[in-house]
């Protein structure tokens, strides 16, 4: 890879903080112990209580999945299941935090994220033929494995009837670059945008030429062309203005609701 994100400003700060994190400390942030067994902390912000029916459903889904895929039954023994609230596109869809036995209780437990997947929002606008995926979650997992140099751990596909889910090791919302850490230094934000652009470009090259997608030579030629740049800048400016208007409206409505 032509760029080391570990050497880049805000990204470097994030990776350093994660490198020093130990599993017991991580588990303690999201679970509580009772008689040597961990349970998810319900804070009604990121984790909300799941019904008994929901918990039973997820336990059966994961049990049937690890049997069909010959995964380690002991590792995937479910200890607790609760609803998870995270992301933007996931809101309103089924999403769960799942605590499993892992390599042993209490400090060898693992936290998993089970997320329902729907058809991409870009589907109505696609004009080119698309691969015939067995499920929407299979599409997401396949692309993620091609694009990312190191996909999330324990990545898997679970299908139930006409619904499909992606299972992976839980990545907490705090494991993100903090834009507030720019500390008034514009150069740090510029470096972050450059790093993000380079990472995306490498991801696109890594996954090129698969199932009819553009080959690397075409992507490189496109990147060197200037035809699309003004269009992107114009779109970015108009979108930023709309975001400002949306934020102002949100603040106004929040103020009314809280008064």
Nearest of 216, 184, 256, 182 to residue 9 by alpha carbon: 182
Banded model confidence at residue 2, pLDDT cuts 50, 70, 90: very low
Q: How confident is the model over 126-169, as pLDDT tens digits?
A: 898 889 999 999 999 999 999 988 888 899 999 999 999 999 99
Look at residue 56 in the predicted model and tell me its pLDDT: 97
Banded model confidence at residue 183, pLDDT cuts 50, 70, 90: confident
Look at residue 1 in the predicted model and tell me its pLDDT: 41
Look at residue 216 in the predicted model and tell me its pLDDT: 94
Residue boundaries of the structural domains of the chain = 5-169, 179-258
Look at residue 196 in the predicted model and tell me its pLDDT: 85
More confident of the two residues 106 and 253: 106
Look at residue 63 in the predicted model and tell me its pLDDT: 95
- Take residue 248 and report the two structure tokens written for it: 């102002």
Q: Compute how many other C-beta atoms are within 10 angstroms of the C-beta atom of residue 245.
A: 9
- Does the pLDDT value for residue 59 go beyond 60? yes
Nearest of 30, 37, 169 to residue 101 by alpha carbon: 37
What's the distance, CA 12 to chain centroid? 19
Q: Kindly state the average pLDDT of the residues 97-104.
A: 96
DSSP letter string over 41-67? ---SSSEEPPPHHHHHHHHHHHHHHHH
Look at residue 255 in the predicted model and tell me its pLDDT: 81
- Does the pLDDT value for residue 108 go beyond 90? yes
Q: How confident is the model over 4-29, as pLDDT tens digits?
A: 555 557 666 666 666 667 788 889 99
Look at residue 20 in the predicted model and tell me its pLDDT: 65
Look at residue 94 in the predicted model and tell me its pLDDT: 95
The mean of the pLDDT values for the chain is: 88
| Strand (E) or helix (H) holding 231 | helix 229-258
Q: How confident is the model over 36-50, as pLDDT tens digits?
A: 899 999 999 999 999
Look at residue 175 in the predicted model and tell me its pLDDT: 62
* Whether 54 contacts 46, CB under 8 Å: no
Look at residue 3 in the predicted model and tell me its pLDDT: 45
What's the distance, CA 174 to chain centroid? 12
More confident of the two residues 99 and 222: 99
Look at residue 14 in the predicted model and tell me its pLDDT: 66
Look at residue 4 in the predicted model and tell me its pLDDT: 54
Candidate from 10-19, 204-213, 217-226 with smallest mean pLDDT: 10-19
């Amino acid at each position: 890879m032509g760029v080391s994100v570990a050497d880049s400003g805000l990204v470097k700060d994030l990776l350093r903080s994660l490198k020093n994190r130990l599993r017991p400390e991580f588990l303690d942030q999201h679970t509580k112990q009772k008689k040597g067994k961990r349970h998810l902390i319900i804070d009604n912000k990121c984790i909300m209580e799941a019904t008994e029916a929901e918990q039973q459903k997820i336990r059966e889904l994961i049990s049937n999945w690890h049997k069909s895929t010959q995964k380690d039954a002991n590792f995937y023994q479910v200890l607790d299941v609760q609803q998870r609230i995270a992301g933007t596109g996931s809101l309103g869809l089924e999403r769960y935090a799942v605590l499993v036995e892992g390599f042993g209780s209490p400090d060898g437990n693992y936290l998993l994220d089970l997320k329902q997947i729907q058809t991409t929002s870009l589907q109505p606008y696609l004009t080119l033929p698309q691969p015939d995926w067995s499920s929407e979650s299979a599409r997401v997992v396949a692309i993620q494995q091609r694009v990312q140099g190191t996909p999330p751990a324990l990545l898997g596909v679970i299908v139930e009837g006409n619904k499909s889910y992606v299972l992976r090791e839980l990545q907490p919302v705090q494991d993100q670059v903090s834009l507030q850490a720019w500390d008034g230094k514009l150069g740090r934000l510029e470096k972050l945008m450059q790093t993000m652009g380079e990472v995306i470009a490498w991801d696109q090259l890594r996954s090129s030429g698969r199932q009819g997608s553009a080959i690397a030579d075409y992507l490189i030629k496109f990147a060197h062309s200037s035809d699309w740049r003004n269009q992107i800048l114009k779109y970015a400016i108009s979108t930023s203005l709309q975001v400002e208007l949306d934020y102002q409206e949100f603040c106004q409505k929040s103020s009314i609701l809280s008064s």
